[in-house]
Amino acid sequence: MEALRKKAHEIITGGQVKVIIGYGEGSPERARAIFAQTPAEVDQLIFDQRCLQNLAVYLMKPEVKALGKMAITASKNVLRSILQLASENQLTDADLVVIGITDDGGVIEFPNLQAVEEHIKAAGTPAKNEDRARIEEIDKKPLEERWQYWQEQLSACVKCYACRSACPMCYCTRCTVECNQPQWIPAPSHHLGNLEWHIMRAMHLTGRCIECGECGRACPLGLPINLLTQKLAAEIESQFDWQAGMSLKVENPLSTFKPDDKENFIK
Amino acid sequence: MATERKILKKESLGPLFEKMNAAGKRILAPRKTGEQIRFEPVTSANEIAADFVQSTASAKWAVFPAVEEMLSFRSLDKETKLEAKQSKPQPTVVFGIRPCDAAAFKALHAVFATDYKDDLFLDRWEQITLIGMSCTKADDYCFCTSVGGNPGSTVGSDILLTPLANGDFLAEILTEKGQQLVASLDGLFAAGGSDIDKESLLAKVTPKFDAKQMKAKMDAVFNNEKLWTRQSLRCIGCGACAFVCPSCSCFDIQDERYGGKGQRLRCWDSCGFGLFTLHTSGHNPRHTQAQRWRQRLMHKFSYGPEKYELPGCVGCGRCSRACPTDMNILGHLLEIAEEKL
Amino acid sequence: MSAENLYKPYVMKIEKITQEAPEVKTFKLVFTDEEEGKNFNFKAGQFGEYSILGEGESTFCIASSPTRKGYIECTFRRAGRVTSALARLEEGDTMGFRGPYGNTFPIDDWKGKSLLFIAGGIALPPMRCVIWNALDLRENFKDVTIIYGARTVNDLVYKHELEDWGKRPDVKLITTVDPGGETPDWKGEIGFVPTVLEKAAPSSANTIAIVCGPPIMIKFTFPVLTKLGFTPENIFTTLENRMKCGIGKCGRCNVGKYFVCKDGPVFTFAQVKELPPEY
Ligand SMILES: Cc1cc2nc3c(=O)[nH]c(=O)nc-3n(C[C@H](O)[C@H](O)[C@H](O)COP(=O)(O)OP(=O)(O)OC[C@H]3O[C@@H](n4cnc5c(N)ncnc54)[C@H](O)[C@@H]3O)c2cc1C
Ligand code: SF4
Ligand code: SF4
Ligand code: FES
């Protein structure tokens, strides 16, 4: 924490950035995002195991951008999000300073996004998180049971769009569900509307989801919808040996064409 | 109506549900699924979640569903035909609703019954009986006592149960609807309870602010853009707060047509969404999250109370618990209370 | 009001469609149920929810005058999903309408006064209702002045009526188009509405000003009127917030302590000044 605050002080007092997006104390036992703009606010920065929110979402928020040049305290998930966003031309070196944080609260300095990419690549394939195990468990169920499971889960969805709002990669100014000429996805949170919404959300994140699980944490009804996007991430990994948020280049298998792409799915 | 006190024995809970089922009533009660507690249809007392502070989502859908048919129609080529109205809603008992949520039903009623009478809502309302359950536990997010409620408040309930140490319940029969229900369940409610010190059984929730002063303060800081921007920076503009809130009543209207049939539907909406006020032209009267956050608070603590003479927030704390970015409403309110003018 | 369901629309038949300007049409609507038509009453300034079942509802003011019975008219610009669907309808087709909603221009209080109407673009329809209402009761009022501007000559709506009004000796009509929007044979003014208003400098003595137009026009018109001596209480306007229910339930049009749909859409400048700038 000391190292983090020291670095943060340096760039705020040095005038390098106007705001540092980081974590601070929140409601009892919770941590929350804070936006440190003064040395006093920098002293409130923390990092511990409660700091799970994927802060990269704020890099896309107009009200935060309006504060001026940003710095962000970035755990591994945030770093991968940054790379993914940069690969989609949403971020450049001019927009931000990245302060990497290791799991034990140490600081990694990154002179630029290139350095972030090198760091992430060097760290190698991300460890499989426990969500992958849950996905495998669901996959083991017979088709009918799986269908039943998702029907039940998704029927509780109220379309608050917290899953969308919490995801750094959901930055479209007008989401497909809001396009009404024609109305591609039914807006109401009835059976069909929910099903289509979640299929659409998962499809739009395929090859872009960095598996931070933020959508699932954000859902006020505790629906495990992160398993949908993460299942597709697993699918992309097994089919194309590829993971999102590992590089600055646009290489998402679903957005790029390669002459040697597998065609075995065309039947 | 004068309140009548009775005792509901713990052994009577099972028969209570059986009899209500037999009478054709739908019973909604808090059920636990994973970490979540939601009001869902139940048939037996065994299904009810035990020992919790507050359900994750509210019971408001019983009178104001997340999606509801406003009208249905058939359209064949150029001819349009409205279908006759659907049958009346089923008689429903909401069992185990917290006093804050029962008060929220009153707040909803004020919106839908003031001036134009919203029959979609009122039809459901007529069929609803609320059996409240006093709180013996509260958490850091609760603030009912700051907005006119308390853990044993009878406001809004038709019958209020207060758990006793021995597992039985003190029953307060508060309205005619409550009386009718008790009468239909002959014998389940026993005489007694007049000497019970209800207050001592309740959770302690210290008042944190005065609602009237909060209104005045909020009107006074309306133009303090810095304040609203600071508070809302971490807000990501989702609708989680509004959709778990028992008193949020804003809605959208959406049409759907499949083949020659269709429906006009009423759906929950939230003032926190940028889309809520967006004109088709692209002009948006509330174009920043700060303005939308301010609207949420103003609506609940200033405009609503002024219009309906009822609090627009009942202090259940759900929005704070549900918020993915920890927008703690009480924390924000206390900050506003301390704002220098 | 249809008693059975607050949100149930009247089924209306489109009797006549007039193309007013590019993308702007006027529908003349008659009730398919005669009884409903007979019982239907409204006042100048009110609006309704016009709909196509399956596409949705859209908010327009009632553009005809309450003095003309048996039908209502609306004039709308094609904008989004609902208006696009409406624009595809033909004479003889049916559509939905519910209303009338909202408050009204206090036209009865204006007896014996002069009236100054200032409108811009597609905002003439809300005004047309009250203009016709006043002209049908012409003897009740002193001078009647209409200043109407649009971006281009092509964008002026109600061209025939403008012509009629222009010919009337008891109406002073000034039309204007934005610089560059004129045609070679354009005889009206060239300039923005506030500028033209300042030049025309109508008297504020015993006069009510009614202003409808895009927010930017309204913003620049108020100061000119103030300069001309109009008090905020004597300037009327209509606000346009996005609406759904039209009856103070859905919360969408809430601005400050008002629901624009129920407490408005007609407001005095005195009221508007007190409102948060969220319209
Ligand atoms: C009091 C008042 C009077 C008016 N009078 C007139 C008039 O006389 N003439 C005129 O031309 N205009 C008038 N307007 C403006 C007119 O209401 C709008 O221009 C028009 O409704 C927009 O077109 P649309 O309905 O086709 O828009 P759309 O954008 O297609 O909207 C369709 C419906 O869906 C909703 N909607 C749109 N996008 C979304 C989304 N992403 N998600 C969910 N719902 C959505 C809309 O609210 C609407 O109900 C008036 C407005 C008001 C408030
Ligand atoms: S956060 Fe949960 S309830 Fe909200 S839209 Fe997503 S899945 Fe549905
Ligand atoms: S605003 Fe929050 S605390 Fe108040 S009633 Fe709604 S959910 Fe509960
Ligand atoms: S349009 Fe629904 S409240 Fe005004």
pLDDT tens by residue, B69-126: 999 988 765 667 888 776 788 999 999 999 999 999 999 999 999 999 999 999 999 9
Tell which of A20, A25, A27 to mutate to test the B interface (max B CBs under 10 Å): A27
What percent of chain A shows pLDDT beyond 90? 80
Count chain A–chain C contacts defined by CB atoms under 8 A: 6
pLDDT tens digits for range B168-215: 999 999 999 999 999 998 789 999 889 999 999 999 999 999 999 999
Domain assignment present for residue C261? The answer is no
User: Does C74 share its domain with C119?
Assistant: no
pLDDT digits (tens, 9 = 90+) for B116-169: 999 999 999 999 999 999 999 999 999 999 999 999 999 999 999 999 999 999
Contacts A27 to B, Cβ<8 Å = 140-141, 320, 326, 328, 331
Predicted confidence at residue B79, as pLDDT, reads 67
Q: Do C25 and C97 sit in the same domain of this protein?
A: yes
CB-CB under 8 Å, B331 with A218 = no
Distance of CA A66 to the CA centre of its chain: 21
Last residue of a domain, one of C56, C72, C101: C101
Asked if residue C253 is part of any domain, the answer here is no
Which residue's CA is minimally distant from atom 7 of ligand 2? A157
What's chain C's Rg over C-alpha atoms? 18
Q: Does C255 touch chain B (CB under 8 A)?
A: yes
C266 within some domain: no
Q: In chain C, how many domains are there?
A: 2
Mutation site for C-interface testing, chosen from A178, A181, A183 by largest number of C Cβ within 10 Å: A181
> What six digits make up the tokens of A26?
């929140």
Q: Are residues C216 and C114 in the same domain?
A: yes
Last residue of a domain, one of C101, C126, C144: C101
Interchain contact B309–C (C-beta under 8 A) = no
Shared-domain flag, residues C78 and C113: no
Q: Is residue C65 domain-shared with residue C111, that is, in the same domain?
A: no
Q: C273 lies in a domain?
A: no
Chain A: touching chains (3 or more CB pairs < 8 Å): B, C
Q: Which helix (H) or strand (E) holds C83?
A: helix C81-87
Cα–Cα distance list, A131 to A226, A228, B245, C47, C170 (Å): 8, 10, 30, 53, 79
**Are C91 and C189 members of one domain?**
no
CA–CA separation, C195 vs C179, rounded Å?
A: 11
Q: Residue C201: which residues within 8 A CB-CB, separation 6 or more?
A: C228
Report pLDDT for A25: 97
Whether residue C53 contacts residue B264, with contact meaning beta carbons closer than 8 Å, is answered with: yes
User: Do C47 and C158 fall into the same domain?
Assistant: no
Is C245 within a domain? no
Q: Render pLDDT for A125-156 as a digit per residue (tens, 0 to 9).
A: 777 778 889 999 999 999 999 999 999 999 99
User: Which tokens is A247 given?
Assistant: 């590089």
Q: How far apart (Å, rounded) are the C-alpha atoms in residues C210 and C223?
A: 14
Judged by DSSP in three states, B77 sits in coil
Residues C127, C29 share a domain: no
Mutate which of B40, B228, B236 to disrupt the A interface (most A C-beta within 10 Å)? B236
Chain A stretch 175-234, residues whose beta carbon is closer than 8 A to a beta carbon of chain C: 180-181, 183
Contact C84 A181 (CB under 8 A): yes
Average pLDDT over residues B272-291: 93
Query: Atom 6, ligand 3: which residue's CA is nearest?
Result: B245
The Å distance, Cα C58 to ligand 1 centre, comes to 5
The amino acid sitting at B194 is S
Q: Is the CB of A178 under 6 A from ligand 1?
A: yes
Tell me how far the alpha carbon of residue A223 lies from the centroid of ligand 2, in angstroms: 7
Handedness of CA C130, C136, C138, C140 (dihedral sign): negative
Residue closest by Cα to atom 14 of ligand 1: C60
Q: How far apart are CA A226 and CA A215, in angstroms?
A: 6
Q: Where residue C233 sits, what CATH number does that domain have? A: 3.40.50.80
Are B117 and B153 a contacting pair, CB within 8 Å?
no
Q: Which residue of B has its CA nearest to A28?
A: B140
Residue C54: give its domain's CATH number: 2.40.30.10
- Residues 17-76 of chain B whose Cβ lies under 8 A from any Cβ of chain C: 70-71, 73, 75
Determine the residue among C81, C82, C88 to mutate to test chain A binding: the one whose Cβ has the most chain A Cβ atoms within 10 Å.
C81
Q: Is the CB of A201 under 6 A from ligand 2?
A: no
User: B116 and chain C: CB distance < 8 Å anywhere?
Assistant: yes
Q: Which domain holds residue C182?
A: 107-238
Distance (angstroms) between ligand 2 centre and the Cα of B319 equals 14
**Bridge partners, residue B42, by sequence:** B27
Contacts of A192 (CB under 8 A, 6+ apart): A186
Say if C259 falls within a structural domain.
Answer: no
pLDDT of residue C122: 79
The CA-CA-CA angle for residues C184, C186, C188, to 5°, reads 150
Tally of residues, chain A:
267
- Rounded to the nearest angstrom, the minimum Cα separation between B59 and chain A is 13
**Token pair in block for residue C189:** 């003014």
Pairwise CA distance, residues C52 & C42, whole Å: 22
Whole-structure pTM value: 0.93
Chain B residue whose CA is closest to C278: B285
For residue A224, the CA-to-ligand 3 centroid distance in Å is 24
Give A16-78 as a 3 state SS string. Answer: CCCEEEEEEECCCCCEEEEEECCHHHHCCCECCCCCCCCHHHHHHCHHHHCCCCEEEEECHHH
Do C103 and C196 form a contact (C-beta atoms < 8 A)?
no
Chains with 3+ CB–CB pairs under 8 A to C are: A, B
| Residues C45 and C128 reside in one and the same domain | no
Kindly tell me if the per-residue pLDDT of A238 is higher than 50. Answer: yes
Last residue of a domain, one of C47, C81, C101: C101
CA C61 / ligand 4 centre spacing (Å):
14
Q: Which residues of C touch A181 (CB under 8 A)?
A: 80-81, 84
Same domain, C201 and C175: yes
SS3 for A191-223 is HHHHHHHHHHHHHHHCCCCCCCCHHHHHCCCCC
Residue C243, CA distances (Å) to A238, C59, C246, C253, C256 in order: 49, 7, 6, 6, 15
**Where residue A4 falls among pLDDT bands split at 50, 70, 90?**
very high
Q: At residue C4, does pLDDT exceed 70?
A: no
Is C250 part of the contact surface with chain B (CB cutoff 8 Å)? yes
Ligand 3 centroid from CA B62, angstroms: 17
C143: pLDDT strictly greater than 70: yes
Whose tokens are 């019982």? That residue is C39
Q: Strands of A31-36's sheet, edge to edge?
A: A31-36, A19-25, A70-74, A96-101, A107-109
Residues C35 and C136 in one domain: no
Q: From atom 3 of ligand 4, which residue's Cα is the shortest distance away?
A: C248
C183 and C218 part of one domain: yes
CA of A225 to the centre of ligand 2 (A): 8
Q: Which of B314, B312, B316 is nearest to B296 (CA)?
A: B312
Domain assignment present for C270 = no
What domains can be seen in chain B, in order of their start residue?
A: 4-64+81-201 (3.40.640), 211-338 (no CATH)
| CB proximity C80 to A under 8 Å | yes
Is C243 domain-assigned? Answer: no
Inter-chain touch B233–A221, beta carbons under 8 Å: no
How much is the mean pLDDT over chain B? 93
Q: State chain A's mean pLDDT as an integer.
A: 92
Structure-token pair, residue B55 = 């359900």
Average pLDDT over residues A229-244: 91
C56 interfacial to chain B (CB closer than 8 Å)? yes
State mean pLDDT over C10-34. Answer: 93
